[in-house]
Amino acid sequence: MTARTSTLCVALAALLAASPALADDNSVTIGMILPMTGPSASTGKQEKAGAELYLQQHGDTVAGKTIVLAVKDDTGAADVTKRLAQDLVANDHAAALMGFGLTPLALAAAPIATEAKVPEIVTAAATASITEKSPFIVRTSFTLPQASAPMAQWALNNGVKKVVTIVTDYGPGVDAEKWFGETFEKGGGTIVERIRAPLKNPDFAPFLQRVADDKPDAVFVFVPSGFGSVFMKQFVERGLDKAGVKLIGTGDVTDDDQLADIGDAALGAVTAHHYSAAHDSPENKAFVAAFEKANAGMRPNFMAVAAYDGMDLVYRALEKTKGDASGPALLAAMKGMSWTSPRGPVSIDPETRDIVQNIYVRKVEKTDGALYNVEFATIPDVKDPYKAGKH
Amino acid sequence: MLTILFDGVAYGMLLFVLASGLSVTLGLMNFINLAHGAFAMVGGYVTALLMERLGAPFLVTLPAAFLVPAILGIVLERTLYRRLYGASPLDQVLFTIGLVLMAMPIADYWLGAEARQVHLPDWLSGSLSLYGVGISRYRLFIVGVCGAIAAALQIFLVRTRFGAQLRAAVDDARVANGLGIDVDRIFAITFAVGSGLAGLGGALAADVVGGVDPSFPLKFLVAMLIVVTIGGSNGILGALFGALLLGVLDVAGKYYIPSIGAFIIYGVMVATLIVRPQGLFSRGDGR
């Protein structure tokens, strides 16, 4: 074969393989499944931007492998998530699955991760028990007990004695209610009332009126990101802020992405969470600046940082395995991994595969004309208390 | 206690404005328009976008939130809806739910899935205390506006010539036509007013439910249908009482028994359907 014909053959082969060229030996596909449309689309938007920023900053080559990020839209429906996960594993030979905007979506992909022995990196859904559903699930977001228990501790230390809890009635809400309540009562506080608001009905007026009549020191709230705005507005509308009721909760209610929309009603709310765009570290300042530049001024929230860290985790694991992208090898490399994220020091607990991270207590304040969750206290290296209690 | 009652009335008034158009098309024109919520969504978006993009004051946007869906209503009535007058209820349901399923992705595509917020002016936010009863200013505003609309509608339908023509056209379109009443025109105007009211309701509701998003048409659909079911579908007063009853029961239920509060309205609807299938406030027997 002459040099010429061989060149032709290569060119032809390249042409034929134009689309599956991505699946050559040297590429590693990360299948990212996110709700890009539907009610949770803001999660998908932040997550996608976070993952893409990481690719943009670190290039698509690591340990001799080319990283291909395939983002799929599951519209927030669990059956679609499952089908997409199957498709990514079987047809695209994805080395890792990532994303999962809501708890049911993360659970839907769990059996596929187990069967295919592919790591499922949960970068959003926050119900504590998710990581128990498959030995291949690793999480870079947070768990609700992880944020709720420190919130209770802070309330106890700051003269709060009577609390009413309001949570949205589904997995993460029940988690938040349980762990805040137990920790708070163990420390000598009183939960006056536990209110669960239905997921579908976003008018909080009757529930907040109950709070007004109970006259607690504080109301602890968990609502999914997106419902924070209506809750905050009605809290102020009912005059609860003036009545001296403190608003405390997990950081979902004062989500960085929604804070500008909520407006001044959010001022003074104290929340416990793992990430604030106002986190004071050089890593975070660089992250926020790069993120806002790449996304027309959109402020990153905890979803964006979790996706960014999810990508970081895959890169670090590939470096550790020297390019071995098989599921069990990647998983082994991820366990116990520790690094400095924009949110601060984080690590993957080798036993539970859940993230260990600092939880910050923050207060909504106005700095430079914009609202931010300003951190004022740090609880270092918090493990998920739900699983820590079992092990 | 009084605060709860007031909140319930405010919520009921809001439901009334949202559902009144549905009650008119269903009760007077015998047309099942499940896409009614889509017009409410359009109204909500008009207000939210006018405020966001052009910085228009809240009150100024409200007439626009009525007019835009009303005009859209006329266009759709002339081109699509009128073909289905007199069609079987199943055809009407399938057609209008199809419109909803189209409206939602269109809104998603153009405006994104995230909720658009309506920011109330300062004089409408917060609460005031009347004789020791805490009353939210915005809810008071809703009660005022919606009450005025209810009164105007009732007078319009009962006292004006147009109202009489409309009732005549509904009772027997053919004879009305023969008497020189332009039935086509009357139906089109009625439909437009109903759509406009839905839009206004959507604009007013946006702040209470946390903004307008593409799932808005379905958010209130069930509540609107319950209002029409409970109230009976012929007339404004039935819808008004149905909406008030529903609003008060819903708010009070959630306040006194939060654990099952959300189900109370469904219980009431089932009871109503068993005892008086034609609606609580309906005259005569069910059709």
**What is each CA distance from B128 to A90, B12, B124, B209, in whole angstroms?**
62, 20, 10, 21
Q: What is the pTM of this model?
A: 0.81
Residue B220 DSSP SS3? coil
Overall fold of domain A145-273+358-388: Rossmann fold (3.40.50)
What is the CA A362 to chain-centroid distance, rounded? 18
| pLDDT-based confidence at residue B283 (cuts at 50, 70, 90) | low
Which tens digits make up the pLDDT trace of B213-252? 888 888 888 888 888 888 776 667 888 888 898 889 888 8
Of B233 and B254, which is predicted with more confidence?
B254
Say whether A229 and B113 touch across the interface (CB within 8 A): no
Residues of B in contact with A37 (CB under 8 A): 105, 108, 113
Task: Report the residue of chain B nearest A241, measured CA to CA.
Answer: B126
Handedness of CA A294, A299, A303, A305 (dihedral sign): positive
Cα-flanking dihedrals φ and ψ of residue A351, to 5°? -80, -45
Handedness of CA A227, A228, A232, A235 (dihedral sign): positive
Which tens digits make up the pLDDT trace of A252-287? 999 998 888 888 888 989 999 999 999 999 999 999
Best of B52, B117, B139 to disrupt the A interface by mutation (most A CBs within 10 Å)? B117
* Cα–Cα dist B112/A41, whole Å: 8
Which tokens hold the place of A317?
Answer: 């694991």
In this predicted structure, the answer to whether residue A303 has a pLDDT above a threshold of 60 is: yes
Name which of A67, A135, A124 is nearest A317 in CA terms. Answer: A67
In this predicted structure, the answer to whether residue A215 has a pLDDT above a threshold of 80 is: yes
Q: How confident is the model at residue B287, as a pLDDT?
A: 38
Q: Is A339 exposed, middle or buried (0-12, 13-18, 19+ CB in 10 A)?
A: middle
Same fold, A21-142+283-353 and A145-273+358-388: yes
Q: How close A37 gets to chain B, by Cα (Å)?
A: 6
Please state whether beta strands A355-367 and A370-382 pair in parallel, antiparallel, or not at all (unpaired).
Answer: antiparallel
Best of B14, B254, B263 to disrupt the A interface by mutation (most A CBs within 10 Å)? B254
* Cα–Cα dist B52/B42, whole Å: 15
Domain ranges in chain A are: 21-142+283-353, 145-273+358-388
Please state whether beta strands A344-348 and A338-341 pair in parallel, antiparallel, or not at all (unpaired).
Answer: antiparallel
Residues of B in contact with A76 (CB under 8 A): none
Apex B183 CA angle, B182 and B188, nearest 5? 105
Say whether B125 and A233 touch across the interface (CB within 8 A): yes
Q: How confident is the model at residue B286, as a pLDDT?
A: 40
- Between positions 173 and 232 of B, the ones with CB within 8 A of A are 207-211, 213, 215
Query: Could you tell me the CATH superfamily of domain A21-142+283-353?
Result: Response regulator (3.40.50.2300)
Picking from A15-29, A297-311, B227-241, which range would have the lowest pLDDT averaged per residue?
A15-29
In this predicted structure, the answer to whether residue A310 has a pLDDT above a threshold of 80 is: yes
Which tens digits make up the pLDDT trace of B14-36? 889 888 888 877 877 778 888 99
Torsion of CA A259, A265, A269, A273, to 10 degrees: -20
Residues of A in contact with B251 (CB under 8 A): 205-206
Say whether A206 and B254 touch across the interface (CB within 8 A): yes
Q: What percent of chain A has pLDDT over 70?
A: 93
Buried b (16+ CB within 10 A) or exposed e, A355-391: bbbbbbbbbbbeeeeebbbbbeeebeebbbbbbbeee
Best of A200, A221, A233 to disrupt the B interface by mutation (most B CBs within 10 Å)? A233
Task: Say whether residue A239 is in contact with chain B using an 8 A CB cutoff.
Answer: yes
Domain ranges in chain B are: 2-213
* Cα–Cα dist A201/B207, whole Å: 14
Say whether A209 and B114 touch across the interface (CB within 8 A): no
Say whether A202 and B210 touch across the interface (CB within 8 A): yes
Say whether A237 and B138 touch across the interface (CB within 8 A): yes
| In contact, A267 and A371? CB cutoff 8 Å | yes
| pLDDT-based confidence at residue A6 (cuts at 50, 70, 90) | low
| In contact, A362 and A266? CB cutoff 8 Å | no
* Cα–Cα dist A248/A270, whole Å: 5
Q: How confident is the model at residue A17, as a pLDDT?
A: 46
Nearest to A206 among B7, B113, B138 (CB): B7
Task: Say whether residue A180 is in contact with chain B using an 8 A CB cutoff.
Answer: no
Say whether B126 and A203 touch across the interface (CB within 8 A): no
Which string of DSSP letters, residue by residue, matches B132-200? TEEEEHHHHHHHHHHHHHHHHHHHHHHHSHHHHHHHHHHH-HHHHHHTT--HHHHHHHHHHHHHHHHHH
In this predicted structure, the answer to whether residue A386 has a pLDDT above a threshold of 60 is: yes
* Cα–Cα dist B257/B213, whole Å: 29
Task: Report the residue of chain A nearest B4, measured CA to CA.
Answer: A206
Task: Report the residue of chain A nearest B48, measured CA to CA.
Answer: A261
Which tens digits make up the pLDDT trace of A133-159? 999 999 999 999 999 999 999 999 998
**Whole-number average pLDDT of chain A:** 89
- Between positions 86 and 125 of B, the ones with CB within 8 A of A are 105, 108, 112-115, 117, 119, 125
In this predicted structure, the answer to whether residue A389 has a pLDDT above a threshold of 90 is: no
Of B157 and A138, which is predicted with more confidence?
A138
Q: How confident is the model at residue B265, as a pLDDT?
A: 83
Mean pLDDT value across residues A345-371:
93
Which tokens hold the place of A219?
Answer: 């109301």
* Cα–Cα dist B278/B287, whole Å: 7
| pLDDT-based confidence at residue B285 (cuts at 50, 70, 90) | very low
Say how many CB pairs under 8 Å bridge A and B: 87
In this predicted structure, the answer to whether residue A22 has a pLDDT above a threshold of 50 is: no
Which tens digits make up the pLDDT trace of B106-141? 998 888 777 788 888 888 877 777 776 778 888 899
Q: How confident is the model at residue A4, as a pLDDT?
A: 58
Does the ipTM exceed 0.95? no
Which tens digits make up the pLDDT trace of B174-211? 888 888 888 888 888 888 998 999 999 999 988 888 78
In this predicted structure, the answer to whether residue A16 has a pLDDT above a threshold of 50 is: no
**What is each CA distance from A345 to A50, A337, B124, B148, in whole angstroms?**
18, 11, 45, 59
Which tens digits make up the pLDDT trace of B42-55? 999 999 999 988 88
Say whether A209 and B11 touch across the interface (CB within 8 A): no
Which tens digits make up the pLDDT trace of A57-116? 999 999 889 999 999 999 888 999 999 999 999 999 999 999 999 899 999 999 999 999
Best of B127, B249, B259 to disrupt the A interface by mutation (most A CBs within 10 Å)? B127
Adjacency order of strands within the sheet including A65-73: A61-62, A65-73, A27-34, A96-99, A120-122, A137-139
Which tens digits make up the pLDDT trace of A181-214? 999 999 999 999 999 988 776 678 888 888 988 8
**Whole-number average pLDDT of chain B:** 85
* Cα–Cα dist A245/A212, whole Å: 8
Task: Say whether residue A249 is in contact with chain B using an 8 A CB cutoff.
Answer: no
| pLDDT-based confidence at residue A56 (cuts at 50, 70, 90) | very high
In this predicted structure, the answer to whether residue B87 has a pLDDT above a threshold of 70 is: yes
